[in-house]
Amino acid sequence: MSDNTADREKALSLLAGKVTHGQAFFDLASEALAIGLGYRWSGVAWRDCGGQELELLAFYEDGGKRELYRFPLAGSPCEDVYGSPPDHSHLFLERGIADRFPRLAILAEVGAECYRGEVFYGPDGEPVGHVFAMSDHEDADDPDARSFFRLVSQRVGAEFNRWRADQALREGNARTRAADQRLREAVECISDAFALYDAEDRLVLFNRKWLDFYGYNAEDAIPGVTYEELVRLDAKNGVVAGDPEQYIQQRLAYRRQFSGSLDLQLSDGRWITIHETPTSSGGIVGIQTEITDRMEAVEALLTARTAAEEANQAKSDFVSKMSHELRTPLNAIVGFAEMIKDAHFGPVGNPKYMEYAGDILTSANHVLDLVNTLLDLARIESGEEDLRDEILDVREEVRTALVFVRDAAVRKNIAIELFLSDELPKLRADRRKMKQILVNLIANGINYNKTGGRIIISVRANESEGFVFEVTDTGPGIAAEDLDKALKPYGRIGRSAADEAGTGLGLPLAASYTELHGGSLKIDSVVGFGTMVTVTLPWSRAITGADRQRSPG
């Protein structure tokens, strides 16, 4: 034993000077023991396998850390340490430990002579480990050395209990996380949307299907958010079709009664049914199942019946309208022809006959246009229609279209305003079909406009939008539920539809011709203010400088 207290002071300073925990502290404590006692070996061990084996937590030999291992308690000096009464837990053997414990052959092999050991206890008062030191020479039991050893042992015991508690906490947390993960995986395997709320109606657990149904992100669906907050968020984000406030009241009312199920349609068209059930702890489990297929099947039956009824009505209306449309010009043809035949105004050379001849031509052309329109629709529906592209001057095409509708605009005192972009490139398109598109859009705006109204025609072209033709009128507008009908053949709408000219083929034909060009037709309308019809053609149909060099014509 070292009789120099400076060594123990150095050892205590080593322990006090570093803030370490766990394995690092056990290593430091072993080093301090060796330095303070002047012993060759020192270490920390704890009991394992029901107390029958010891496992080294730290081992110090000849000035350095050594490999850790396990060894049996029986037949070692440590067995005597654990056998000591609590009030005499310090064991000191001044010499001859190799002879005293022959079963532990390593003692004789390394020349161990002297041994010190002391037990430390767990929170329950049971011995859980010990601190030891061995020397290769005899030693006396110095009180200062014993006090130093006990101080280190107590520090090691306190750290061991803290370390084990921390390990238990970590292991408990790991088990909790593993159980939570298994629960989450099980919830994710549920084919329906799932959400669990606690007794205070706060979100606890959910699966990806539930997130997808409502479009929540990580900031929205955080544990702790209330059910009502989520419902109001649904309404704010427009997740569910219909009136937002009505949706909020409907969900909250269902939440209070837990009766049956609640069917809702999402804004993207999907249908879900909601089942909510209280748990024994006061929480709520919500299951949302998609029933789109079922609802679509029901809707399809209703739609088919309605469509059949509407089709029959549309056909009846069309036949009636077409009878009028065809009878009027044909009567004119017959009447004027009779007047020419009977020479009511004298010889045929009379200029009046030329006027009648013009009226006959106009009426005949009108009948021809109707027939051509029907034939065009038939070809489009059968997939036989194709394009005959030419290079068109858009300004010229728009002005030409205005010639065809000028008289109709004058009769209703409708002002037409034309806005053409300063730089309009040439357009590669089918001339006849483009004329028909423009004429149909403008004529439709005139037919359904009020007397003394306005029509605004705007044309622009750029790489980001393409070619954009907008025709805006100041008519009565189209209700949202009638927009689809306006694009269906014979789908004439509005209370005055029967009194207006036309067959209900103009917009459908314009839309079909637009789609043939790779474009789209869109209707925006506000009841009481008017309607804007927009035709957009892709920019690829623009003739740039380089394209003009390669294009025919």
At 251, list the tokens.
Answer: 């969900």
Amino acid, res. 387: L
CB atoms within 10 A of CB 225: 17
| Residues 6 or more apart in contact with residue 75 via CB below 8 angstroms | 101, 102, 103, 104
Count Cβ neighbours within 10 Å for each residue of 393-423 and write b for 16 or more, e otherwise. ebeebbeebbeebeeebeeeebebeeeeeee
* Residue 187 burial (C-beta neighbours within 10 Å; 0-12, 13-18, 19+): middle
Nearest by Cα to 535 from 457, 482, 479, 431: 457
Shared domain for 22 and 117, answered yes or no, is yes
pLDDT, tens digit, 9 for 90 and up, residues 444-480:
899 889 999 999 999 999 999 999 999 999 999 888 8
Q: What would the mean pLDDT of 174-191 be, rounded to a whole number?
A: 83
pLDDT of 546 above 60 = no
| Spatial contact of 258 and 236, defined as CB atoms under 8 Å apart | no
pLDDT of 498 above 50 = no
Nearest by Cα to 73 from 99, 98, 45: 45
At 397, list the tokens.
Answer: 């095409």
How far apart are the C-alpha atoms of 415 and 363, rounded to whole Å?
Answer: 26
| CATH, residue 514 | 3.30.565.10
Q: What is residue 202's predicted lDDT score, i.e. its pLDDT? A: 92
| CATH, residue 32 | 3.30.450.40
At 155, list the tokens.
Answer: 């520090």
Shared domain for 331 and 452, answered yes or no, is no
Nearest by Cα to 267 from 215, 209, 232: 215
Shared domain for 23 and 156, answered yes or no, is yes
How far apart are the C-alpha atoms of 541 and 469, rounded to whole Å?
Answer: 14
| Spatial contact of 116 and 133, defined as CB atoms under 8 Å apart | yes
| Residue 175 in domain | no
Shared domain for 282 and 324, answered yes or no, is no
Shared domain for 201 and 73, answered yes or no, is no
How far apart are the C-alpha atoms of 414 and 410, rounded to whole Å?
Answer: 6
Last residue of a domain, one of 322, 348, 382: 382
Residues in the chain: 553
Residue 131's DSSP bridge partners are 44, 118
* Residue 364 burial (C-beta neighbours within 10 Å; 0-12, 13-18, 19+): middle
Higher-confidence position of 284 and 362? 284
- CA atoms within 13 Å, Cβ hemisphere of 408: 20
How far apart are the C-alpha atoms of 425 and 409, rounded to whole Å?
Answer: 28
How far apart are the C-alpha atoms of 44 and 130, rounded to whole Å?
Answer: 6
Nearest by Cα to 487 from 386, 377, 324, 362: 377
How far apart are the C-alpha atoms of 342 and 345, rounded to whole Å?
Answer: 9
| Residue 528 in domain | yes
Residue 536's DSSP bridge partners are 468, 520
Q: What would the mean pLDDT of 229-243 be, rounded to a whole number?
A: 87
Among 96-110, 293-307, 511-525, whose mean pLDDT is lowest?
293-307
pLDDT, tens digit, 9 for 90 and up, residues 342-398:
666 666 666 666 566 666 655 665 566 666 666 666 667 666 678 899 999 999 999
| Residue 187 in domain | no
- CA atoms within 13 Å, Cβ hemisphere of 60: 27
Q: What is residue 211's predicted lDDT score, i.e. its pLDDT? A: 86
Among 7-11, 97-101, 202-206, whose mean pLDDT is lowest?
7-11
Angle, helices 292-342 vs 351-382, to 10°: value is: 160
| Spatial contact of 134 and 155, defined as CB atoms under 8 Å apart | no
Residue 502 — pLDDT band, cuts 50, 70, 90? low
| Residue 182 in domain | no
| Residue 245 in domain | yes
Q: What is residue 429's predicted lDDT score, i.e. its pLDDT? A: 93
Output the 3-class SS for 517-535.
CCCEEEEEEECCCEEEEEE
Among 153-157, 407-411, 488-492, whose mean pLDDT is lowest?
488-492
Give the structural domain span for 213: 193-290
pLDDT, tens digit, 9 for 90 and up, residues 122-168:
888 889 999 999 999 998 888 888 999 999 999 999 999 999 999 88
Higher-confidence position of 75 and 339? 75
Higher-confidence position of 548 and 466? 466
Helix (H) or strand (E) holding 169: helix 143-188
CB atoms within 10 A of CB 11: 23
CA 195 to chain centre: 17
End-to-end CA distance of the chain: 114
Q: What is residue 381's predicted lDDT score, i.e. its pLDDT? A: 67
| Spatial contact of 193 and 209, defined as CB atoms under 8 Å apart | yes
| Residue 485 in domain | yes
pLDDT of 111 above 60 = yes
Shared domain for 528 and 402, answered yes or no, is yes
49: alpha, beta or left, given left = phi > 0 and alpha = psi -120 to 50? left
Last residue of a domain, one of 382, 404, 431: 382
Q: What is residue 310's predicted lDDT score, i.e. its pLDDT? A: 72
Shared domain for 324 and 360, answered yes or no, is yes
| Residue 177 in domain | no
Shared domain for 78 and 151, answered yes or no, is yes
Helix (H) or strand (E) holding 416: strand 415-420
- Taking the model in full, what pTM does it have? 0.42
Q: What is residue 209's predicted lDDT score, i.e. its pLDDT? A: 86
| CATH, residue 258 | 3.30.450.20
Query: How many domains in the chain?
Result: 4
Q: Listing from the earlier edge strand, what are the strands of the sheet with 466-473?
A: 415-420, 454-462, 466-473, 530-537, 520-526
Q: Mean pLDDT of all residues in the chain? A: 83
Shared domain for 371 and 409, answered yes or no, is no
At 542, list the tokens.
Answer: 């623009």
Last residue of a domain, one of 248, 268, 290: 290
At 501, list the tokens.
Answer: 């000219």
Residue 552 — pLDDT band, cuts 50, 70, 90? very low
How far apart are the C-alpha atoms of 489 and 154, rounded to whole Å?
Answer: 95
Helix (H) or strand (E) holding 135: strand 127-135
| CATH, residue 363 | 1.10.287.130
How far apart are the C-alpha atoms of 115 and 97, rounded to whole Å?
Answer: 7
CB atoms within 10 A of CB 13: 12
| Spatial contact of 496 and 451, defined as CB atoms under 8 Å apart | no
Shared domain for 430 and 517, answered yes or no, is yes
Shared domain for 75 and 122, answered yes or no, is yes
Shared domain for 284 and 349, answered yes or no, is no
| Residue 184 in domain | no
Helix (H) or strand (E) holding 468: strand 466-473
